[in-house]
Structure 1
């Protein structure tokens, strides 16, 4: 059985990706399995650059096929912010609560709440081969957080077709429509050929 490493320290993200890739005859491994990985500096200006850099560096470091993603929230009225800085929007040593507080503060008195989640998933081999896939989902930002599932900006990201925020969705619902889910659906089409 082929092993694929998930290059993230975010345990909720690991769960989410494992759920989406669960129907394949592959062993998904992560830091939860006792692997230690170096911190990869996400210093690119695009999700694509950061995603590929992370996947390639960890694939070479562990000598294992690696999946990495870079994702974030892009708010129309804020010129695409927080974008690639989504995880550190309120500063380097920050958390979801502070990032969300800054977002809502920056949107005060702004009527346009259109936003999208963007995710670029990259899969890399230790030999330097890499492929990337982009997924998006459109929604809007609400001031009052709703729901306790998910992470990051999920409680403020309202998805109209389900009349729920991302933090109110079940794992199964989120996997079907999320930006990460959409990117991974594209990756899944190539996965068997890529890992041969």
Structure 2
């Protein structure tokens, strides 16, 4: 079984990756480790920054052998907001303490009668312990709900309705979300890439 360092402290992502990659042992990013950079203009840039930065730190300070590092950069891209918040999704409305508040602010930013189409994007960067880093990505189309609905998932899940559903990611059971989500699709692409490389 592969042992991979997950370059994130996001508890929601850790839960999802554990469910989506059951054949991988995930090592959480340690509390004493530094914050990882996210200064890129694109999801791919940020994912690679985090994976390569985490790999470099682990080589100096890691406490166990790993097969590689996995990093994720993902976000919500809203057409009526010119693709925002996009790569800034995790840093949107930093003055607000909770995603519940941020979701409401984002919905309030939509002009009346605006197109509500949106997509979730996920790019995974993998830095194997041997070989160059690579990325895989995926997205899921959908639309924004009129108000937050559901307590499941995390982040923007309560306001995003995936294409073909009437329920938000916050309302869908986890196993249903894991067949539809951007992260599930990116993990499927990652497994295919790792199978080719092995």
Tell me the TM-score normalized by structure 2. Answer: 0.88
Tell me the CA shift for residue 36 of structure 1. Answer: 3.7
- Say yes or no: does 1:7 pair with 2:7: yes
Q: Match for residue 149 of structure 2?
A: 146
Q: Distance in 2 between matches of 1:93 and 1:132?
A: 32
Flag structure 1 segments of 5+ consecutive residues without an equivalent.
Answer: none
Superposed displacement of residue 112, structure 1: 0.4
Rounded Cα–Cα distance in structure 2 between residues aligned with 1:5 and 1:92: 30
**SS at 1:164's partner residue?**
coil
- Pair 1:77 & 2:77 matched: no
Q: Provide Cα deviations, 1:83-122, integer angstroms capped at 9, x if missing partner.
A: 0111111137743123212211111413300000001011
What is the CA-CA distance between 1:17 and the residue it aligns to? 0.7
1:39 aligns with 35
- Counterpart CA distance in 1 for 2:95 and 2:127 is 27
Alignment of 1:97 with 2:95, yes or no, is: no
Give the match for residue 133 of structure 2: 130
| 2:25 matched residue in structure 1 | 27
RMSD in angstroms over aligned alpha carbons?
1.9
TM-aligned CA deviation for residue 172 of structure 1: 1.2
In the aligned structure 2, how far is the partner of 1:106 from the partner of 1:58? 35
* 8 A contact 1:69–1:122 mirrored in 2: yes
Gaps of 5+ in 2: 60-65
The answer on whether the counterparts of 2:104 and 2:148 sit within 8 Å (CA) in structure 1 is no
Q: Is the 8 Å Cα contact of residues 155 and 168 (structure 1) preserved in structure 2?
A: yes
Indicate conservation of the 8 Å contact 2:104/2:147, yes or no.
no
Secondary structure of 1:166 counterpart: coil
Q: TM-score, normalised by structure 1?
A: 0.89
Match of 1:62 among 41, 58, 64: 58
| Number of equivalenced pairs | 191
Does residue 114 of structure 2 align to residue 111 of structure 1?
yes
Q: CA deviation at 1:161?
A: 1.6
By how many angstroms is 1:132 displaced?
0.5
For residues 9 and 169 of structure 1, the distance between their equivalents in structure 2, rounded to whole angstroms, comes to: 24
Q: 1:68 to 1:156 in 2, by over 3 A?
A: same
- C-alpha offsets along residues 14-61 of structure 1, whole Å, 9 cap, x if unaligned? 010111110x2x422214xx6642101211110000001101111221
CA contact under 8 A between 1:55 and 1:123: conserved in structure 2? yes
